[in-house]
């Protein structure tokens, strides 16, 4: 995959991102445990609901000279976006690992199935934070599509992945299909302008996808008497603008959190490695030959750049979107789908925000 220098533009923001991510270290063990810690963390942290934890972190950092220009919500959202997207990425890649290791048949495109695995995992956990991870993953795909449109990138219809906005809407669809009667999901469907007939098919999409993965993994569930397969963890060193990301993710134990869950849940046939490292390009991938799932620090830096560049829509556009939404509640939007070129096509994930009031304030244009 061609190297890219996009991540280099984030150097001026790295210290801010590092401070924000490190501020969440005490709380990261809650991510995939549905509220129960999976590693040692302060007792006081586990007593707080995750939104309050994020808010507390933002509040504690408000007087730092490098963060004074950010509002509390901006500090919270930056953390949620970067961490949420990286968590979605590792789950997507873990699906590729399962398909390869367990010889799981895939009817359709494996990249779509991997997205389903990540979405369903987070829906299964069912915590408020994992739902926000999904919202951040959706937001990331919309931002990625907007960036490609601004850069004049052509649509890669031939690619193995679905188009960025299609991937975003698929996350929304499975969320709605999972719990269509929930008030937040009803509001979500309305704000994304999903018509009633599509909402009904989303129910079927969720049922089909959930049944498919449950059936595929049923014979690979780890029995209580079987010892856990060793999943090695490795964090490579990084320099310059990437060093804060390396330090932060190592401190947050992102890989350990995922490994603990899936070493316990699934009977992997042989050991493998989860690693984060500096790659020289933006990527995330599973490699059969080395039995290694790799997340590049450059990918985290790219998410930070993506968020800082596209999170704030001009006020006029926000007003126009509100007017369009008001008169479009009974018909679907027809956005122009955009797609990144292969050098940005990590195996992947780019993560719409329902974390505050369940509203997509940055829906696609």
pLDDT per residue over 127-164, tens digit each? Answer: 777 888 888 888 889 899 999 999 998 888 888 888 89
pLDDT for 199 equals: 86
pLDDT number for residue 350: 34
Stated as kind and residue range, the H or E segment containing 235 is strand 231-235
pLDDT of residue 126 exceeding 90, the answer is no
Return the minimum-mean-pLDDT range out of 40-49, 105-114, 185-194: 40-49
Length of the chain, please? 365
Instruction: With cut-offs at 50, 70 and 90, classify the pLDDT of residue 360.
Output: very low
CA distances 153 to 111, 120, 306, 340, Å, are 21, 31, 16, 7
| pLDDT exceeds 50 at position 195 | yes
* Percent with pLDDT over 70 in the chain: 67
Lowest-confidence segment of 20-34, 86-100, 273-287, 297-311 by average pLDDT: 20-34
With H, G, I as helix, E, B as strand and everything else as coil, classify residue 163: coil
- 3-state DSSP call for residue 295? strand
Confidence (pLDDT) at 352: 30
pTM score: 0.74
Q: What is the DSSP string of 180-194?
A: TTSHHHHHHHHHTT-
Q: What is the pLDDT of residue 131?
A: 84
pLDDT tens-digit series, residues 218-239: 999 999 999 999 999 999 999 8
Compute the mean pLDDT over every residue in the chain, rounded to the nearest whole number: 74
Task: Considering only residues 45 and 93, tell me which one the structure prediction assigns the higher pLDDT.
Answer: 93
Span 275-289, pLDDT tens digits: 999 999 999 999 999
Q: Average pLDDT for residues 310-321, to the nearest whole number?
A: 52
> How do residues 87-117 score in pLDDT, each as one tens digit?
999 999 999 999 999 999 999 999 999 999 9
Residue 15 has pLDDT above 80, yes or no: no
What average pLDDT does this structure show over 315-327?
A: 43
DSSP-H helix ranges across the chain: 14-23, 43-46, 50-60, 72-102, 110-125, 128-151, 164-178, 183-191, 196-217, 243-252, 254-265, 297-310, 315-327
Whether 339 has a pLDDT exceeding 50, the answer reads: no
Instruction: Express each pLDDT in 62-84 by its tens digit.
Output: 665 555 677 777 777 777 788 88
CB 76 within 8 A of CB 127: no
Query: Residue 16's pLDDT is what?
Result: 52
């Amino acid at each position: 995959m061609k190297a890219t220098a996009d991540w280099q533009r984030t150097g001026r923001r790295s210290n801010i991102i590092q401070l924000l991510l490190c501020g969440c270290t005490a709380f990261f063990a809650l991510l995939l445990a549905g509220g129960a810690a999976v590693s040692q963390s302060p007792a006081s942290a586990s007593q707080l609901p995750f939104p309050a934890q994020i808010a507390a972190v933002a509040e504690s950092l408000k007087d730092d000279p490098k963060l004074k220009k950010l509002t509390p919500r901006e500090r919270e959202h930056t953390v949620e976006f970067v961490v949420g997207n990286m968590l979605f990425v590792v789950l997507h890649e873990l699906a590729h690992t399962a398909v390869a290791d367990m010889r799981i048949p895939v009817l359709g495109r494996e990249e779509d199935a991997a997205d389903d695995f990540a979405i369903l995992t987070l829906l299964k956990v069912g915590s408020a934070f994992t739902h926000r991870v999904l919202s951040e993953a959706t937001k990331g795909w919309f931002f990625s599509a907007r960036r490609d449109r601004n850069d004049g990138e052509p649509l890669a219809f031939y690619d193995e992945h679905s188009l960025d906005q299609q991937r975003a809407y698929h996350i929304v669809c499975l969320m709605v299909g999972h719990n269509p009667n929930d008030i937040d999901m009803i509001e979500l469907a309305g704000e994304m302008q999903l018509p009633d007939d599509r909402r009904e098919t989303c129910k079927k999409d969720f049922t089909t996808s959930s049944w498919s993965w449950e059936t595929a993994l049923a014979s690979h569930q780890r029995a209580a008497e079987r010892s856990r397969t060793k999943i090695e963890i490795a964090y490579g060193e990084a320099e310059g603008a990437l060093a804060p990301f390396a330090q932060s993710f190592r401190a947050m134990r992102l890989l350990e959190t995922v490994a603990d869950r899936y070493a316990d849940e699934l009977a992997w046939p042989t050991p493998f490695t989860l690693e984060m490292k500096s790659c020289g390009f933006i990527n995330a991938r599973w490699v059969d030959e080395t039995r290694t799932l790799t997340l590049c620090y450059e990918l985290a830096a790219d998410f930070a750049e993506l968020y800082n560049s596209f999170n704030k829509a001009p006020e006029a556009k926000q007003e126009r979107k509100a007017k369009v939404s008001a008169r479009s509640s009974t018909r679907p939007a027809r956005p122009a789908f955009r797609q990144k070129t292969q050098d940005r096509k990590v195996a992947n994930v780019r993560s719409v925000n329902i974390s505050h009031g369940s509203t997509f304030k940055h829906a696609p244009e």
